């Protein structure tokens, strides 16, 4: 068992709740209340829920990988890369459009999860 991948799975699961509840109130609902076309609101909802689905699938994959780290190394690596990509998007748009990383700090949690996953993969190689 990989404790660091298990911890990443737990954090990923907590992130689902933060996304759905906190982000729903702060981001999704205001967008739906904004004066946008119906199609833009539909796309927003699809993308919002797609992120939720991705987080659920990734969390499940990480829980599985935590208990079979050698067999599911590639799955762990793929999730780690995806979370790094998410972090990169938050960093890029935070700096380029907002001029700060403080307004959208989600990059921190994605980097932490990726680091935990990478550490778990590395530990299995050295064990």
Rounded to 5, what percent of the chain is helix, strand, coil? 85, 0, 15
Name the strand (E) or helix (H) holding 50: helix 38-67
Torsion of CA 74, 79, 84, 90, to 10 degrees: 160
Whether 122 and 80 have beta carbons less than 8 Å apart is answered as: no
Tokens of 26: 């702060």
Name the strand (E) or helix (H) holding 11: helix 3-17
The CA-based angle 9-14-93, given to 5 degrees, is 95
Q: Dump pLDDT digits (tens) for 87-116.
A: 999 999 999 999 999 999 999 999 999 999
Per-residue pLDDT at 70: 84
Q: Mean of the per-residue pLDDT values for the chain?
A: 95
Q: Give the whole-number percent of the chain exceeding pLDDT 70.
A: 98
- Report how far residue 105's alpha carbon sits from residue 18's, in angstroms, rounded to the nearest whole number: 12
Asked if the model's pLDDT at residue 119 lies above 90, the reply is yes
Residue boundaries of the structural domains of the chain: 3-126
- Report how far residue 76's alpha carbon sits from residue 24's, in angstroms, rounded to the nearest whole number: 27
């Amino acid at each position: 068992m990989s404790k660091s991948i298990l911890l990443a799975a737990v954090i990923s699961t907590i992130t689902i709740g933060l996304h759905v509840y906190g982000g729903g109130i702060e981001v999704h609902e205001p967008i739906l209340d904004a004066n946008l076309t119906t199609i833009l609101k539909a796309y927003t909802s699809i993308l919002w829920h797609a992120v939720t689905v991705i987080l659920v699938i990734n969390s499940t994959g990480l829980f599985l990988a935590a208990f079979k780290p050698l067999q599911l190394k590639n799955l762990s690596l793929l999730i780690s890369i995806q979370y790094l990509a998410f972090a990169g998007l938050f960093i890029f748009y935070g700096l380029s459009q907002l001029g700060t990383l403080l307004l959208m700090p989600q990059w921190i949690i994605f980097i932490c999860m990726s680091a935990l996953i990478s550490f778990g993969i590395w530990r299995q190689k050295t064990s």
